[in-house]
Structure 1
Amino acid sequence: LGLAVLDGAEPALLRTAAAAPAVTAGTIRLAAGEHEQQDDADRSLVVLDGAGELLLPDGTARHLRAGTIAFLPRGQRVAWRVRDPLRAFVTAVR
């Protein structure tokens, strides 16, 4: 519940139809090796350092290195093949 003023009009009450999503952010570290993941959140990530591949369900491999940006939709199962320990900044929206 909040107040808004539109073009000098009297304040109006605002209501949202649904609760705002929970957003979290932080840094993750993955050791060399293979890791599987399936999340209950939409995730965006930026690889800060390290190298490897992200293996998608259709068999496609996406190379990861510093500067790579990726989006993983909620519910998608992926596997990480990490060659050099990988560090990434990740945001999650639930």
Structure 2
Amino acid sequence: MEAIFSIEFTAYVALAVLLYAIREATNIPNRYIPIVAVFLGVAFAGFENRAFSFEVLVAGLKYALYGIGSVATVKYALEKGEERK
């Protein structure tokens, strides 16, 4: 249960929610969402570690990939739910 409430899991969820909100609220084309996710993920990892190194860059990319995957999963689930109605 501790793993669910860890800072890393919270970062994934926060980034996914932020990306979903940006996607829904702005007119940014879907092809630019991964670029936005990379910038936000690296920025969050840098803020979290208060430094910048290769490990921070990799952690930021990991946050971005998980965030993009989460947004895609939610989008797919919502679209499939509407098709069933």
Alignment TM class, shorter chain as reference? under 0.3
By percentage of residues, which structure has more strand? 1
TM-score, scaled to structure 1: 0.17
Q: Which has the higher contact order (CA 8 A, sep 6+)?
A: 1
**Larger-gyration structure (1/2):** 1
